Amino acid sequence: METTGKGLGERLEREAVPVECPICRHRQWLSAMSGRCDQCGSGIELFERRDDAHAAMEQLQAEGRVGYLVPGAGFFAVVSNRTFGGS
């Protein structure tokens, strides 16, 4: 699955985009397609297309994880709870 389009990737090279973490409400600025919230460590992935973001959400749910879809200006962010070590 294509998670990034050329347009969003080029945009991130020029400017960071804001994403509000729905888990802790920290406003995080990302300049890459994926990253983490500086405050709570939640994973953040950016997508150009809503369909791709929904597919990522479904994968998280299949793994038993919590995910949130956060629409932004020209992108969709999927924010997921942290994972911890284990078996």
Query: Rounded mean pLDDT of the chain?
Result: 88
64 exposure class (CB count in 10 Å sphere: 0-12, 13-18, 19+): exposed
Predicted confidence at residue 54, as pLDDT, reads 96
The model's pTM is 0.84
Q: Comparing C-alpha atoms, which of 53, 80, 86, 55 is closest to residue 65?
A: 80
Higher pLDDT, 48 or 1: 48
Q: How confident is the model at residue 82 (pLDDT cuts 50, 70, 90)?
A: confident
Q: Give the model confidence (pLDDT) of 8-40 as tens digits.
A: 989 999 999 999 999 999 999 999 999 999 999
Q: What's the Rg (C-alpha) of the chain?
A: 12
